[in-house]
Amino acid sequence: MGYTAVIGMEVHAQILTRSKMFCACSADYAGAPPNSHTCPTCLGMPGALPTANKAAIEATIRTGLALSCQIPPFAKFDRKNYPYPDLPKGYQISQYDLPLCRDGQLTLRTDAGEREIRIRRVHLEEDTAKLLHQPDATLIDYNRAGVPLMEIVTEADLRTAEEAGRYLVALRRILRYLGVSTGNMEEGAMRCEANVSVRPEGTSELGTKVEIKNLNSFRSVRQAIAYESERQIEVLEAGGEVHQVTMGWDEDAHRTVFQRSKEYAEDYRYFPEPDLPPMVHDPAWIAQLRDSLPELPASVAARFAELGIRPEDAELLAEDRTVASYADSALSTGAEQGIDATTIANWMTGELFRWLSENNASIDEIPVTPESLVASIALVENGTINQNVAKNVLAEMLDTGRDAASIIDERGLRQISDRAALQETVQRIIAANPGPAEDFRSGKQAALNYLMGQVMRETRGKANAGLVRELLQAELDG
Ligand code: ADP
Ligand code: MG
Ligand code: ZN
């Protein structure tokens, strides 16, 4: 019997605000000495009262709007009680039955076409303190306690580890476009839990789910889901049953490991937070937030794809706002000069992205403007330099910030398209290589590439490759 996996994701993202969620402490605690960003409120001292951070509420609602959520006019905070040392108050201020945003969706492009992933809710809460386990003690750093945190929960609509990974990438892209979170998983600014169950193919009843925590990278999300769904299938195949538990992903052992039995909502003894008033939103304010959303990545990618750019490349170019705006400028400059959008996209996703990743640089740091990138592409299009020379020229432009034309002139890189001169070289190469010439004549296509290589070497890579091929063929056939 075949099985399918059913996956729902819960993602926590730290919100980029200046102050914490319920006090005036700075939320930017990276690198600060432990416990230096604290006050009576975020330390949970008796009598200290919370005040809600409006910027965090706004960021959460903007995220909900970007995920096509409903924003109910009324929302409130609730206390979620649990006795861990990372919670100074003994409870976390969160949202239970009336979240800020609900019933949204995110469209994923997958190999099986477009998939709608329903978003159940986006709510706002506070982050916990950080526990640092030592061999003989556990230290607590409260700098993180009270940092605004949003939680984005999907319906159980994901079906494969790959889809779950794509969902996270797409979600992070939206968070970054909105500027509401860095989305950096390595730094813990975005953390996720995957809920996984399996069921026989063709059935619709949900199986018992296991929740997996400690997923600190896209890779571990994919690996943990793949591992856990296989594990559950094996349990069921052997006649056993899956227990509803919380597991962790052990990166080293490469397996999911039991952490604790599942806790249920009643374990948390939720009740409305009495120290904060409920939120009643002015519809005009929500409308204003909706109007102020930037163009979202899906729309940017769709615009690029309409220009004929392959959907996967369009998505790469829409990956982040600075890349997208660079691409926008390059594409419009290119269009003015009659250069295909696909040609520009190929240069960007190929040479440019490679250089960026090799140099660990981001596009807003490079000295090559979209206009000068297009100018170098135009030199290939009009035959001034060939493709391979252009790659080297672009790398030098990126290294030095110089423009293409001056590099080409200084190094004498202009393409040789002089038919008579090339014909002379071609004849000389054929005469000097009677073996390969004979091989080609007797049907060995590969011999032509060898001869092309010789001509290119002779011309120090500057010959017009199309013309050389044509001349070689004519000489050898003739
Ligand atoms: P819990 O009370 O354990 O947090 P919820 O019903 O609130 O469970 O769901 C949490 C997440 O688990 C959601 O993303 C939801 O879509 C997902 N989920 C719920 N049931 C299943 C299931 N049977 N299989 C996979 N995912 C599930
Ligand atoms: Mg849960
Ligand atoms: Zn504080």
> Which atom of ligand 1 is found nearest the CA of 8?
14
376 CA to middle of ligand 2, Å? 52
The closest ligand to the CA of 156 turns out to be: 1
For the cut 90, the answer to whether the pLDDT of residue 386 exceeds it is no
> In terms of domains, do 429 and 405 share one?
no
> Which atom of ligand 1 is found nearest the CA of 154?
14
Whole-number pLDDT of residue 335? 95
Structure tokens at 52: 């809600």
> In terms of domains, do 51 and 110 share one?
yes
**Residue 123 CB contacts under 8 Å (≥ 6 apart), including other chains:** 60, 94, 95, 99, 100, 101, 150, 151
Whole-number pLDDT of residue 184? 95
> In terms of domains, do 305 and 271 share one?
no
Residues lining ligand 1, Cβ inside 6 A: 6-10, 153-156, 195-197, 206-207, 209, 265
Whole-number pLDDT of residue 50? 98
165 CA to middle of ligand 3, Å? 35
153 CA to middle of ligand 1, Å? 9
Parent domain of 44: 3-289
Whole-number pLDDT of residue 383? 79
Whole-number pLDDT of residue 337? 93
> In terms of domains, do 261 and 244 share one?
yes
Whole-number pLDDT of residue 164? 96
Spatial distance between the Cα atoms of 263 and 80, rounded to a whole number of angstroms: 12
> Which atom of ligand 1 is found nearest the CA of 9?
14
Spatial distance between the Cα atoms of 467 and 423, rounded to a whole number of angstroms: 9
Half-sphere exposure of 224 (CA within 13 A, CB side): 31
70-121 pLDDT, tens digit each: 999 999 999 999 988 999 999 999 999 999 999 999 999 887 788 999 999 9
**Mean pLDDT across 32-60:** 97
* Mean of the per-residue pLDDT values of the chain: 94
283-313 pLDDT, tens digit each: 999 999 999 999 999 999 999 999 999 999 9
- CATH code, domain carrying 463: 1.10.10.410
16-32 pLDDT, tens digit each: 999 999 999 999 999 99
> In terms of domains, do 177 and 284 share one?
yes
**Mean pLDDT across 246-255:** 92
Percent over 90 (pLDDT), the chain: 80
- Reported in sequence order, the residue ranges of 262-302 that DSSP labels E, i.e. its strands, are 271-272, 279-280
> In terms of domains, do 394 and 448 share one?
no
- Residue of 105, 116, 122, 209 to test ligand 1 pocket, by largest number of atoms within 8 Å of CB: 209
> In terms of domains, do 137 and 228 share one?
yes
146 CA to middle of ligand 3, Å? 7
- Cβ pair 423, 458 in contact under 8 A: no
> Which atom of ligand 1 is found nearest the CA of 206?
23
> In terms of domains, do 314 and 280 share one?
no
353-376 pLDDT, tens digit each: 999 999 999 999 999 999 999 999
For the cut 80, the answer to whether the pLDDT of residue 262 exceeds it is no
Whole-number pLDDT of residue 321? 93
**Mean pLDDT across 326-337:** 96
For the cut 90, the answer to whether the pLDDT of residue 325 exceeds it is yes
Whole-number pLDDT of residue 462? 83
If one counts the domains in the chain, the total is: 3
48 CA to middle of ligand 3, Å? 10
Nearest CA to ligand 1 atom 3: 264
Nearest CA to ligand 1 atom 11: 8
> Which atom of ligand 1 is found nearest the CA of 196?
25
Whole-number pLDDT of residue 99? 98
- Specify the higher pLDDT residue, 172 or 264: 172
Whole-number pLDDT of residue 464? 86
